[in-house]
């Protein structure tokens, strides 16, 4: 462990970015996250990595089967590992407490890297469109200032700052410009990349900004992430082909069995990483009206390759007052496309934008299907605050996450840039 590059994950969420760095051989010092349910997810994933490292993966499988409780699972993990998860919001009120906890974990070691990005709602185009004042005055707009304070305190060799594309235009570009100036003031030369998850092997159309900052007194050659292009001929249906067919309101948290063996993509992407225990394949219940709309949307796509325009629905099915925007509020996850639409946190509120392509199932996608669109492995379990999964909490965590497959490629490139074997 001592020979590995160490990092702090700020605004860690469910740990998608961290998962990629762990796969690439980095060691987490701390995960800082304000959402309690996401912190349980992080601890459960820590339990997975620890038990796997000591050849006791079978105990983790027992947890996925529901044979042991969460408390029993955590009791088998060293306390210092679980304590790397810090359930506090980053900001003036809690930073000193966070620093004390990190320093206790760190001891006399140093931090090589800081990763993570502030909550994206304040910068996202959709978030601003839904806000009455365009998110002006939202304190989340300024969380990058606290991010910079962590850079100043821990002086890492490099940092990775991930966020939505809307960061470029938020505040007419003022926020991004101020970030660049502040990071430079803290001693970091930065490069900004616009990346697409599908170029990293993720079967999802997900554009993001990655800001890489390197300490200016070090000669670090920052790789060009916009040049990454993983060629793939797989279609979205590849992600769903082995899962049991279920109806709206059906499915199991722990546990069910796969319908077929894994295909090549599921194996290569480590989604089916040898596990035979399927969890969180749970579908939302839907109203009769919603299911009728879903059927129309799927039939329109399958027969005409056209998306449903809300205004084209029969009047009896139109319950929304807003008829001038968000015409595509009902959207099918097209099985025959090379990537799906972007999975966002709004999936926690309803599934209308993520309709399953199989008309016989007539539902929105499950928690596990959403996780697969984000490239999370099937043994990644998304916790609720209480024991057992909370579907809404799981969807929110998944929608906010960085795809692990993309994160791993970024981490490998960074490890190479730091000339670490």
Q: Rounded to whole angstroms, how far apart are CA atoms 87 and 26?
A: 21
Of 256, 198, 237, 230, the C-alpha closest to 65 is: 256
Instruction: Return the percentage of the chain with pLDDT > 70, whole number.
Output: 93
CATH number at residue 124: 3.40.50.150
Q: Is the pLDDT of residue 332 over 50?
A: yes
- Residue 329, domain member (yes or no): no
User: How confident is residue 286, by pLDDT bands cut at 50, 70 and 90?
Assistant: very high
Q: Rounded to whole angstroms, how far apart are CA atoms 70 and 83?
A: 16
Q: pLDDT tens digits for 84-110? A: 999 999 999 999 999 999 999 998 899
- Residue 56, domain member (yes or no): yes
Of 404, 379, 386, 387, the C-alpha closest to 280 is: 379
Cβ atoms within 10 A of the Cβ of 225, count? 21
Q: What backbone phi and psi angles, to 5 degrees, belong to 3?
A: -90, 5
In 169-263, beta strands by DSSP E: 188-196, 207-215, 251-252
Q: Rounded to whole angstroms, how far apart are CA atoms 92 and 76?
A: 35
- Residue 15, domain member (yes or no): yes
Average pLDDT for the chain? 91
Catalytic (active site) residue 120: yes
Q: Rounded to whole angstroms, how far apart are CA atoms 194 and 210?
A: 6
The residue that leads in pLDDT, 421 or 12, is: 12
Q: Is the pLDDT of residue 375 over 90?
A: yes
- Residue 294, domain member (yes or no): no
User: Lowest mean pLDDT: which of 147-156, 249-258, 370-379?
Assistant: 249-258
Q: Quick one: 25 exposed, middle or buried, by C-beta within 10 A (0-12, 13-18, 19+)?
A: middle
- Residue 64, domain member (yes or no): yes
Q: Is the pLDDT of residue 256 over 60?
A: yes
Q: pLDDT tens digits for 188-218? A: 999 999 999 999 999 999 999 999 999 999 9
User: Which position among 120, 158, 283, 371 bears the catalytic label?
Assistant: 120
- Residue 388, domain member (yes or no): no
Angle 137-147-10 from CA coordinates, rounded to 5°? 110
Residue 302: the pLDDT is 92
- Residue 361, domain member (yes or no): no
Strands 188-196 and 85-86: unpaired
Q: Rounded to whole angstroms, how far apart are CA atoms 256 and 359?
A: 22
- 226-253 b/e with 16+ CB inside 10 Å = b? eebeeebebbbbbbbbbbbebebebbbb
Angle, in degrees to the nearest 10, between helices 16-23 and 404-417 = 50
Q: What backbone phi and psi angles, to 5 degrees, belong to 338?
A: -80, -15
Non-local (6+) Cβ contacts of 45 within 8 A are 15, 19, 380, 381
Contact status, residue 258 vs residue 227, Cβ threshold 8 Å: no
The CA–CA distances, whole Å, from 373 to 245, 390, 399 equal: 17, 19, 10
Q: Is the pLDDT of residue 126 over 70?
A: no
Give the number of domains in the chain.
Answer: 1
Residue 255: the pLDDT is 86
- Residue 260, domain member (yes or no): no
- Domain holding 133, by residue range, is 6-220+402-417
Please give the structure tokens belonging to residue 233: 């001929």
Please give the structure tokens belonging to residue 394: 């799981």
Q: Rounded to whole angstroms, how far apart are CA atoms 201 and 271?
A: 12
Q: Across the strands, what pairs with 214?
A: 158, 189
Q: pLDDT tens digits for 393-404? A: 999 999 999 999
Of 395, 35, 346, 130, the C-alpha closest to 12 is: 35
Integer-rounded Cα Rg, in Å, for the chain is: 21
Q: Rounded to whole angstroms, how far apart are CA atoms 233 and 235?
A: 7
């Amino acid at each position: 462990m001592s020979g590995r590059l160490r990092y702090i994950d700020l605004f860690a969420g469910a740990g998608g970015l961290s998962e990629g760095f762990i796969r690439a051989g980095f060691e987490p010092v701390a995960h800082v996250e304000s959402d309690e349910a996401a912190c349980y997810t992080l601890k459960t994933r820590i339990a997975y990595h620890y038990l796997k490292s000591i050849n006791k993966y079978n105990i983790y499988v027992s947890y996925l089967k529901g044979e042991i409780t969460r408390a029993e699972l955590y009791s088998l993990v060293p306390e210092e590992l679980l304590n790397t998860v810090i359930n506090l919001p980053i900001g003036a009120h809690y930073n000193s407490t966070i620093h004390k906890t990190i320093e206790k974990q760190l001891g006399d070691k140093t931090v090589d890297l800081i990763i993570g990005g502030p909550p994206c709602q304040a910068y996202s185009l959709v978030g601003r469109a839904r806000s009455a004042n365009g998110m002006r005055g939202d304190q989340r707009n300024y969380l990058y200032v606290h991010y910079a304070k962590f850079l100043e305190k821990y002086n890492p060799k490099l940092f990775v700052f991930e966020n939505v594309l809307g960061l470029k235009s938020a505040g007419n570009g003022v926020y991004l410009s101020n970030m660049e100036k502040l990071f430079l003031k803290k001693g970091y030369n930065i490069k900004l990349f616009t990346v697409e998850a599908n170029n990293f092997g993720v079967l999802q159309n997900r554009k993001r900004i990655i800001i890489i900052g390197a300490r200016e007194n070090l000669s670090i050659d920052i790789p060009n992430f916009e040049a990454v292009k993983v060629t793939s001929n797989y279609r979205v249906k590849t992600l769903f082909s082995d899962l049991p067919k279920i109806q709206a309101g059906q499915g199991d948290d722990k546990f069910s069995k796969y319908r077929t063996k894994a295909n090549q993509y599921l194996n290569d992407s480590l989604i089916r990483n040898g596990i035979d225990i399927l969890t969180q394949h749970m579908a939302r219940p839907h109203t009769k009206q919603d299911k009728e709309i879903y059927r129309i949307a799927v039939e329109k796509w399958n027969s005409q390759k056209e998306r449903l325009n809300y205004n084209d629905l029969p009047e009896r099915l139109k319950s929304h007052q807003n008829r001038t925007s968000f015409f595509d509020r009902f959207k099918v996850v097209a099985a025959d496309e090379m990537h799906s639409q972007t999975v966002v946190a709004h999936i926690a509120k309803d599934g209308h934008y993520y309709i399953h392509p199989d008309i016989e199932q007539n539902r929105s996608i499950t928690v596990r299907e959403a996780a697969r669109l984000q490239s999370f492995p099937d043994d990644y379990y998304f916790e609720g605050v209480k024991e057992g999964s909370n579907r809404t909490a799981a969807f929110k965590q998944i929608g906010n996450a960085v795809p692990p497959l993309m994160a791993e490629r970024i981490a490998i490139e960074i490890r190479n840039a730091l000339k670490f074997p």
